[in-house]
Amino acid sequence: MLLFEDYRSKITDDIRSIYTDVDPSDVGFDRTGHADFAFRTFRISKSSGKKPDQILAEVSTVLSGRPYIENVSLEGPYINIRIKPSVMLRELDESVEIKGQFPDTFQDPERVSVEHTSTNPTGPLHVGRIRNTLLGDSIARILGRYGYRVTTQYFVNDSGRQIMALYEAYRRYNSGKKPSMDIILSGYQRIYGEMENDPSIENDIKELMNSYEKGDVELMDSIKAIASVALDNINTSLKSLGVKIDDYTWESDFIRSGELIEIVDSFSDILNDEDGAKYILNPDKEKIFLRRSNGTSLYFTRDIAYHKYKARTYDWIVDILGEDHKGHAKNLQFVLKDLMEMPNRIDFVFNAYVSLETGKMSTRKGNAVTVDELLERTKEEALKIVSEKRPDLPKDKLEKISLSVAKSSIRFNIIRINANKQVVFKWSEALNFEGDSAPYIMYSYARACGILKHAGNARPNYDDIVPQERELIVTMYQYPYRITEAKDSLRPDIIANYTLDLVKKFNDFYRECPVSGSDEKTMGKRIRIVQIYKNIIEDISKLLGIELLEEM
């Protein structure tokens, strides 16, 4: 959990001590610039018959006794509440100075698993997939920041039909050659083309699945070896964006262990049969198949086993899935919660698809922008720009800056959009580093570093706060509320959009409030403000995967 002075709760509690029936949603941050907090009196006026100025008098009586309240005033039907900026600044400063961060985190014992990516190892990671990756990675980081003990998970498919096709392709076309991503991918694309005219392929795949399911260890190992080549390639791409997976689980592990058979057997009471295939019914009377008629297992059953595995270690299971998995997730939820009565909290986060202007992305059809390609081109573009802007810097520094800009931009552009919105990938947007972008944030950080480099020493001071300072302080103060919101709704885009708002406030401050050269009291105050800002941007950068630079 997060530790900080929660004025919103305090104010809400005070108001509710007078009007017990007040709706907490009537007390909140004001977004219109009238105050810090606003209390809407409509409902209380109606229920109590009191006029707004009577309500103001009563609310003022309670709130004016609080040391953090600056003033309480009435504007139409709104009671506007302002917090003393010096108190907020002191709160921020002491947290940063003493705890090293604002807000401070109290380590929660609860353990959380965040599964993301889990893409089939059949080809290089592409732009359509990393939306899932980056969502999951940021969610994991946000939950960790909030205080949970978080582990990221990747479920590796080395058992499905697609992987058998991949392996069969390698065996037919490239047997004996050292497997590489190119060889694997081209074979995979080729076999789906030839399958239509050559029924022997289908038969061979079926045969492979049978041997596999019977526990042919040699076959399992061979397939795992091929899948590993693709997985290594994917992992290299993940690493290039700063994504780390803590735990890989292979689907084949549950076949080897015999657990899948136990799971199907455990449903014997409600199991139905269709030509030897086994299924159960969901509440909508739709069939959920658990085993094929030829006895081989299905992804759904392997996923049950995987979730049983996760439930042994984690209190809270979070799965990031493509929106095409909504049906799968609904059924999984039904089986785990209703049938197996799993007590763990389970949440699914869905991401809508990223398409190209030319249509859908597909590994099989070779119609996709890979992560490596995206990173390469973005880096080139960044290098062009930074070389123009900073001809004074040496080559290696320019390279370093462009790489950080590229990684950060890619992550930020994807993460700042609400996950259930469909996205069309456009190079013109990916290569734009102006406006609402990662470099905008990074640049403001570099400016903050510049200020601190130029400023001298001065004793901290919290007095005589001017409007631009106040706006920045209030926005920084809101940070823990935004972390909490993002954690509750599992939405990193909330943090991304908050950050843009925060940077704008910092830019206003930067323009209007010189630090070095100002009198000692003013400088003492502004150095503290800049240091807090720097600290919060550093904190946020870890949540969003932005690589900050002291100069750029």
Partner RNA sequence: GGGCCCGUGGCCUAGUCUGGAUAAGGCACCGUCCUUCUAAGUCGGUGAUCGUGGGUCCGAAUCCCACCGGGCCCGCCA
The residues in 231-290 that bind RNA, with binding defined as CB under 7 A, are 251, 274-277, 286-287, 289
Single residue of 15, 231, 513, 548 touching RNA by CB under 7 A: 513
- Vertex 513: Cα angle to 512 and 515 (nearest 5): 150
Closest alpha carbon to 524 in 449, 451, 459 = 459
Q: Give the C-alpha distances (Å, rounded to integers) separating 304 from 140, 150, 289, 339, 430.
A: 22, 21, 12, 11, 38
> Is residue 306 a contact partner of residue 342, using CB atoms and an 8 Å limit?
no
> Is residue 159 a contact partner of residue 203, using CB atoms and an 8 Å limit?
no
Give the Cα separation of 307 and 291 in Å (integer).
18
Looking at this protein, which amino acid is placed at residue 521? K
Give the Cα separation of 510 and 468 in Å (integer).
9
Residue 374 CB, nearest approach to RNA (Å): 16
Residue 295 CB, nearest approach to RNA (Å): 9
Interface with RNA, residue 129, by CB under 7 A: no
Enter the tokens of residue 489: 């709704």
Single residue of 4, 68, 173, 299 touching RNA by CB under 7 A: 299
Interface with RNA, residue 522, by CB under 7 A: no
Give the Cα separation of 467 and 508 in Å (integer).
10
Residue 141 CB, nearest approach to RNA (Å): 19
Enter the tokens of residue 310: 């996760």
Q: Which is nearer to RNA, 159 or 535 (CB)?
A: 159
Residue 234 CB, nearest approach to RNA (Å): 14
Alpha helix locations (H) across 425-491? 427-430, 438-454, 467-477, 479-489
> Is residue 102 a contact partner of residue 96, using CB atoms and an 8 Å limit?
yes
Interface with RNA, residue 16, by CB under 7 A: no
Residue 341 CB, nearest approach to RNA (Å): 23
Alpha-carbon dihedral 189, 227, 290, 281, rounded to 10 degrees: -70
Interface with RNA, residue 9, by CB under 7 A: no
Residue 235 CB, nearest approach to RNA (Å): 18
Q: Which is nearer to RNA, 120 or 531 (CB)?
A: 120
Interface with RNA, residue 202, by CB under 7 A: no
Residue 534 CB, nearest approach to RNA (Å): 12
Interactions with RNA, residue window 471-490 (CB under 7 A): 485, 489
Interactions with RNA, residue window 33-72 (CB under 7 A): 33-35, 38, 40, 42-43, 46
Single residue of 198, 221, 429, 464 touching RNA by CB under 7 A: 429
Interactions with RNA, residue window 139-158 (CB under 7 A): 157
The residue range among 143-151, 170-178, 292-300, 475-483 that interacts with RNA, by the rule CB under 7 A, is: 292-300
Instruction: Detail the DSSP E strand segments found in 303-356.
Output: 316-322, 345-351, 354-356
Enter the tokens of residue 511: 């323009």
Closest alpha carbon to 415 in 282, 264, 243 = 243
The residue range among 82-90, 127-135, 140-148, 438-446 that interacts with RNA, by the rule CB under 7 A, is: 438-446
Interface with RNA, residue 335, by CB under 7 A: no
Q: Which is nearer to RNA, 101 or 228 (CB)?
A: 228
Count of residues in contact with RNA, rule CB under 7 A: 100
Give the Cα separation of 287 and 331 in Å (integer).
10
Interactions with RNA, residue window 367-386 (CB under 7 A): 382, 385-386
Task: Annotate each residue in 204-233 with x if it binds RNA (CB under 7 A) or - if it does not, as one string.
Answer: ------------------------------
Give the Cα separation of 21 and 23 in Å (integer).
6
